[in-house]
Chains A and B, each alone.
Chain A
């Protein structure tokens, strides 16, 4: 995060220069893609779809990047929270089947929100347990962290098989959220629009918390220099557990949205997006939430445009994007100090 300028009374403090260049990349990319795609309506459809995808990836990735920034812990098992969030929404969907099939839009949205709430609660609790059991014993040992979170992922993925069975489960979108809104020639799927709105909402709230509250100040300070925050008398550990839980809950939220987007549940779905998530947080700069947001949108835009123009290059395109960005800024879009 570079937009740190305080809003308090200390107006004499020199403002930190805001680095707009990475932000500009997004509209530039969109504009470049327009003539390549050719038709305006297709371009709108692709862009909205990409934004929706970007928001979901951001939701899933934000927790991971913060956890890494704050405590230098890279959780390779992050994908598990995504899968779990998605599967847990089945619990909420069971009793709410009537709401899903109802033609009342509010009940439909209510069902979606209920899923999200249940998923966030469960993945948050799971995150707490994961931090306690799996991650705590291996602080500061990168090699073991990678191995142990990988192992945790294997076990958790198998547990999903044990609880919900091994075959993929179809998931139906609530009635009112199916179909598309057509404006002129451009069709936008309703669900994608909702995903964009939800994603922006969460990003807004996160931005406010990080930049306008004391808690956010501590988190940002912790990312910059954890030892100093500790020396000032704050318990960085407690802060970290909190961030880990919040990050897991966000992954759960992303998982629900992702599951409804794909409309099928598989235990490996979290691990599949994990790759994209890693690319995103590397592009954004490890530990930077703002960078993660821009990175997610960039990756999704590039993936969708290339998916349309040259389908075979879709995933390769994200890697190419990563390579290009790292050549430009080796530490990612928004490098976090001392990383």
Chain B
């Protein structure tokens, strides 16, 4: 049973299994364990980013290609929902149409970019995706009539998912089951399903070929696998998953704008999460996303306090280094160090502990 759910890909390390279990339990019971809107926000963000990072890992960790267009697909998902909800109606059919159109658009775009640049070398693909993604971001912020420009779009979502909706009259375990919590569980279970699906993909014969291409594309080609075809399929799969992550985020935020979906900062966040969690293993995406987003939300407070302490002690420059907005500096240093010293990431380190 467990074997088929996890596609035979066990954590293979007790501390890792415990950590993953903690994350799973924490996310599954988030509304009951951590009441309040801020923790629920963090939990929903972790769910979405687990999918986004896992889909990126499919490219970076499993196939060995670097793309900078991942936020573009994420954004297409977000805008798909936003445009459908804003221009038509806040109903389920409209939502479905929005998602389908976004998926088709994203996969077509991924295919086009892939066919154009995946034939050449990895570095070429990285540059082309960077260029296309930034052009797309500018396009989205300039097409005022469709996307709402820089301001983005706020919209209503189907009634069941709105905060005012009540599933039961009485609270369950002391918590009112409102539309917000329903949305959270929609996101949680979609994310869980997509994650297990991704696990299925990377542990299939197809996933094996991807890893072969990562290790030695020339040899994979010689063994009779069309490298371009496999890379393109991986690219499209990953784009599709990123699009769905964007859809989930759009449902949670009830707002889509360039800063929350298309900005380069999010791309950098994804990179950091993949590398810190561990490339080439989907469990890395879970840990990376969870740690990073917790740090993003709670480390800042700590750093702010520390910086305040230093400032009152009268030390120059150091308060700036620990300023609450400078948390990316420290994660960046962690990122560089982890690429050098433990490219296997947290998951890889935990797995090595056993040996």
Chain A residues within CB distance 8 Å of chain B: 74, 76, 134, 137-138, 142-144, 146-148, 150-152, 154-155, 158-159, 161-163, 166, 271, 274-275, 278-279, 282, 312, 314-316, 318-319, 322-323, 326
Contacts and interface: CB of A to CB of B under 8 A. Distances in A.
B268 interface: yes
A147 B264 contact: no
B128 A155 contact: no
A322 B132 CA distance: 11
23 contacts: A74-B126, A137-B340, A142-B122, A144-B339, A146-B122, A146-B123, A147-B271, A150-B268, A150-B271, A151-B339, A154-B329, A155-B329, A155-B333, A158-B332, A162-B317, A162-B320, A162-B326, A271-B264, A274-B130, A275-B131, A282-B124, A312-B143, A314-B138
B127 A151 contact: no
B321 interface: yes
Best-surrounded residue of A134, A150, A159 (most CB of chain B within 10 A): A150
B70 to A, nearest CB: 13
Contacts of A163: 320
Given A134-B336, A162-B320, A162-B329, A319 B123 contact: no
Contacts of B335: 147, 151, 154
Contact of B122 (A143, A155, A282): A143
Contacts of A162: 317, 320-321, 323, 326, 329
A323 B275 contact: no
Contacts, number: 93
Given A162-B320, A162-B321, A275-B134, A154 B328 contact: yes
**Interface of A, helix, strand, loop or mixed by DSSP:** helix
A279 B128 CA distance: 8
B130 A275 contact: yes
Interface in B103-155: 116, 121-124, 126-128, 130-132, 134-135, 138-139, 142-143
Given A158-B329, A161-B325, A316-B139, A282 B127 contact: yes
B64 interface: yes
Give the secondary structure class of B's interface. helix
Contacts of B329: 154-155, 158-159, 161-162
A150 B127 CA distance: 12
10 tightest Cβ-Cβ pairs between the two chains A and B: A158-B329, A154-B332, A151-B336, A155-B332, A151-B335, A278-B127, A275-B134, A162-B320, A146-B66, A315-B138
A137 B127 CA distance: 22
A210 B321 CA distance: 42
A333 to B, nearest CB: 15
Interface in B44-67: 60, 64, 66
B326 A147 contact: no
Nearest to A147: B339
Contacts of B124: 282
Given A161-B326, A162-B326, A279-B131, A144 B343 contact: yes
A323 B131 contact: no
Interface residues of B, number: 41
Contacts of B128: 282
Contacts of B135: 315-316, 318-319
Interface of B: 60, 64, 66, 116, 121-124, 126-128, 130-132, 134-135, 138-139, 142-143, 264, 268, 271-272, 275, 317, 320-321, 323, 325-326, 328-329, 331-333, 335-336, 339-340, 343
B148 to A, nearest CB: 15
Contacts of A142: 121-123
A118 B93 CA distance: 62
Contacts of B123: 74, 142, 146
Nearest to B327: A158
A83 to B, nearest CB: 14
Contacts of B66: 143, 146-147
B131 A322 contact: yes
Contacts of B268: 150, 154
A65 to B, nearest CB: 12
Given A148-B339, A154-B335, A323 B116 contact: yes
Contacts of B143: 312
Contact of B340 (A148, A318, A322): A148
Nearest to B343: A144
A318 B128 CA distance: 12
Given A148-B339, A154-B329, A274-B130, 4 more contacts: A74-B127, A147-B335, A158-B326, A326-B116
A176 B331 CA distance: 44
A276 to B, nearest CB: 8
Contact of A143 (B64, B264, B272, B323): B64
B328 to A, nearest CB: 6
